[in-house]
Chains A and B, each alone.
Chain A
Amino acid sequence: MDRRKFLGLGLAAVALAPITVSALDFRKEKPDAWKAEKTEEAIKALYGEIKVEETGVKIKAPKLAENGGKIPVVIKSDIEAKSVALFQDANPRSAVAVWTVPEGGIVDYAVTMKMKGSGKITAIVEGKDGKFYSKVLPIEVSKGGCGG
């Protein structure tokens, strides 16, 4: 390896270090979860074979979204959580986002997401007690996002 390349690598490593060292990167750790087309497959790829309880999680989203390109979604839970994941079944792949909940963190997350058409969104909360909690909410989309 020549010197220039070597130095470049060093710089790249330094620039990436604070993120890779401190954080759990779900995109790197669980690449299959982001490729799965079905929500069930994505959940399995992310958490393995799990039993979910449909309780303790709230989703706030419009019942009818006029613009599928920007749908506001809020996930709330009082459960002491390790992670939270958001899926939907209208787009080519299911996973939308995964949050790592810091120690003592509050589960009250809002994002704006895209949906190609009407479908169901699923939120999974991984509790510190080792159990999984979920909420499923159907959303009707009148004009699809994702350039559709």
Chain B
Amino acid sequence: MKVKAKEKDGIVKVKVLAKHQNIGPEEGEKKKKEANFITSVIAKVGDAIVFEMNGSGFMSANPLYKFKFKGKKGDELEVTWTDLKGETETKKAKIK
């Protein structure tokens, strides 16, 4: 997972590139692969949640998520995704 966060005028722009195949159930049948996709993405600064999303099997493979929130330079952003099998990946990034 790649996370980039950049602040300008009090607004932090974030790009998250997750590495995941994101295979929906029907697609899995066709490709003879197990269905598994990112079900949730959460981003936090400290204890405060700044981004929260529930996904489906219709997200693209290696999805790109973008969002904005009010924040400041130097803070640490922590992004975590969880997939259908319960696996998670967390990545921290300093807001630039």
Q: Which residues of A contact B25 (CB under 8 A)?
A: 92
Chain B residues, Cβ within 8 Å of A59: none
User: Given known contacts A19-B40, A106-B11, is B63 in contact with A111 (CB within 8 Å)?
Assistant: yes
A19-B82, A102-B48, A146-B24 are known contacts. Are A70 and B53 too (CB-CB below 8 A)?
Answer: no
Q: Interface size class for chain B?
A: 35 or more
B50–A102 touching, CB < 8 Å = yes
Return the contact of A70 from the options B26, B49, B60 (Cβ within 8 A).
Answer: B60
CB atoms of A93 and B53 under 8 A apart: no
Query: Are the C-beta atoms of B59 and A114 separated by less than 8 Å?
Result: yes
How many inter-chain contacts with C-beta < 8 Å in the A-B complex? 113
B residues in contact (CB < 8 Å) with A: 11, 22, 24-27, 30-31, 39-40, 42, 48-56, 58-61, 63-70, 80, 82, 86, 88
* A–B Cβ pairs within 8 angstroms, 23 of them: A15-B88, A16-B86, A23-B42, A34-B56, A72-B64, A96-B55, A96-B58, A97-B54, A97-B59, A99-B52, A102-B51, A105-B69, A106-B11, A109-B66, A110-B65, A111-B53, A111-B55, A111-B63, A113-B58, A146-B26, A146-B58, A147-B30, A147-B31
